[in-house]
Amino acid sequence: MTQLVQLQGIKDKLEEAGYSVFAISNDPVEILQDFAAKHDITFPILSDSDSAVIKAFGIMNQLIRPDEGQSMRWYGIAYPGTYYVDANMRVTDKDFHQHHARRASGSLVLARALGRETEIHTEAESVDVSERINVTVGLSEPKLQLEVISQLLVDIEIPEGMHAYASGAPEQFSCLTVEVGGDGIRIGDVSWPASEPMNTLGIEEEVPVYTGRIRVSVPITVTSDVIRLGHEIPDSLQVSVALSFQICDEYECFLPESIEATLNCALARLVEPEGLSTYADRVEALEAETGKPVR
């Protein structure tokens, strides 16, 4: 349900680019109508209450058993994800996740659909300046949510006439690296831009380098170690970012440097079903009493 709200938030921009937004759910019509009214959802949502369409597409979550989470209608749900379809109704791209609660944020769906770079949200950024480079660290969203995949974005500005070494450069050079850490978060693989070859400093072969402005992105997801459905959540969490680099010009290489930044990331609840808090409390009490998990 949270993703429906996020899709509504990017609907206008998608429609400006020629896209239409549709969604499918195994919830009955009455529930979807009520949800759409409460959250101002204006795009079509298909009720697939018997999961016939979901099964036909081969995206029904096979990891959830028929007896599992019956009161929450878990059985019959689709793997969370998005199809991107062109004007000829051909699927040009898709993005699905195995975990039933994991999904891409609205800003990532928008960037993927339009083939654009994700923007850093101004409410979630930190700027650092060293003697050699400027670094901006931020998030693709104003707030992080449970199992919603966002991006931690690192923009690096290398002065004109200088370069930093990319992965694959000879061992005598310190390559540009980014490390992200924090409690209660899941970090994905760092995505680097393409480097460019350069002849430099007496090295007979070309070495990979970065010049100008580059963007490094890191998938970041808050886990249930920090946010639990049906419970109060903290206001924020801290994420550490460490950037190591060595800057060179055509005459010399400066000593390796490091920049460390701490990003204070605001947190937000998912759109939770009514009564979930009471349900969660009852489940925990029953599990504590019986020593057995409650389905």
Which domain CATH number covers 24? 3.40.30.10
Where among 94, 116, 138 does a domain terminate?
Answer: 116
Number of domains comprising the chain: 2
CATH assignment at residue 216 = 2.60.40.1250
Please name which of 83, 100, 101 lies closest in space to residue 92, comparing C-alpha atoms: 83
228 in the same domain as 97: no
What DSSP designation does 256 have? P
pLDDT in tens, 212-269: 999 999 999 999 898 887 778 899 999 999 999 999 988 888 999 998 888 999 999 8
Which comes out higher in pLDDT, residue 17 or 119?
Answer: 17
What pLDDT is attached to residue 128?
Answer: 65
Is the pLDDT reported for residue 295 higher than 90?
Answer: no
CA distances from 288 to 67, 84, 227, 285, 291 (A): 21, 44, 20, 5, 5
What pLDDT is attached to residue 101?
Answer: 73
pLDDT in tens, 186-215: 999 999 999 999 887 667 788 899 999 999
Asked if 46 and 72 touch (Cβ cutoff 8 Å), the reply is: no
Pick left, alpha or beta for residue 86 (phi over 0 → left; psi -120 to 50 → alpha; otherwise beta): beta
CA distances from 187 to 19, 103, 241 (A): 31, 14, 12
pLDDT > 90: what percent of the chain?
Answer: 46
In a domain, 281, yes or no: no
Asked if 116 and 131 touch (Cβ cutoff 8 Å), the reply is: no
Where among 60, 90, 116 does a domain terminate?
Answer: 116
141 in the same domain as 111: no
61 in the same domain as 83: yes
142 in the same domain as 79: no
203 in the same domain as 111: no
What is the CB neighbour count within 10 angstroms for residue 48?
Answer: 21
The whole domain housing 22 covers 2-116
